[in-house]
Amino acid sequence: MTLRTAHTADLTPAELAAARSLLRDAFDGDFADEDWEHTLGGMHALVHDERGLAAHGAVVMRRVRYRMRWLRVGYVEGVAVRHDARRQGFGSAVMAALEGVITRAYDLGALSASDDGALLYTARGWRAWDGRICALGPDGVIRLPDEEGSTYVWPVPADLGSELVFDWRDGDVL
């Protein structure tokens, strides 16, 4: 296994195409153009094995209001492991690399997890946010009740019950 971290700008077109293909396959085709756009513009962690790209994840900057203060948040996107390479520690290797970026560059890490994905994150110390999840949209702050219970943070702040207000973006806000 080899692990490489690189900014989007430092990835070749072939590396970007391989990452996008891996994500599309790993999410069984449920990976829209907006989802791909959300993975770009930050740092990527790529794990290769003897068959090629085995795992990918990215961390991009988001702004989140927490307790009336806007924070720089490293938002984790596009974490996936090739179907035949699962349960070999590649997802943990990707997350360790991304957590290193979060530690060095951001106030907090955040992500939205599926039930299956949550197992990886909770094992690494990520915690589900207990408070309200909102976004600052074109018409002001809107609540995102479907994201409550599936939004995770790391490292865990003392107050998990406050409201988080994320910046707006196209596609899935979180």
Q: Is 43 helix (H, G, I), strand (E, B) or coil?
A: strand
Question: How many domains in the chain?
Answer: 1
* 83 inside domain: yes
Q: What is the mean pLDDT of the chain?
A: 95
Percent of the chain with pLDDT over 90: 89
pLDDT over threshold 80, residue 108: yes
pLDDT over threshold 80, residue 158: no
* 139 inside domain: yes
Rounded mean pLDDT of 135-139? 92
Read off the pLDDT of residues 20-53 as tens digits, 9 standing for 90 and up.
Answer: 999 999 999 899 999 999 999 999 999 999 999 9
The confidence band for 157, taking pLDDT boundaries of 50, 70 and 90, is: confident
* 155 inside domain: yes
| Global pTM exceeds 0.85 | yes
* 173 inside domain: no
Which is more confident, 138 or 60?
Answer: 60
* 95 inside domain: yes
Q: Can you count the helices (H) and strands (E) in the chain? A: 4, 10
* 13 inside domain: yes
Which residues form the domain of 160? 2-167
**Which uninterrupted H or E stretch holds 47?**
strand 43-49
- Biggest alpha carbon distance in the chain? 50
Read off the pLDDT of residues 78-98 as tens digits, 9 standing for 90 and up.
Answer: 999 999 999 999 999 999 999
CATH code where residue 163 lies: 3.40.630.30
* 172 inside domain: no
* 129 inside domain: yes
User: What is the reported pLDDT for 10?
Assistant: 98
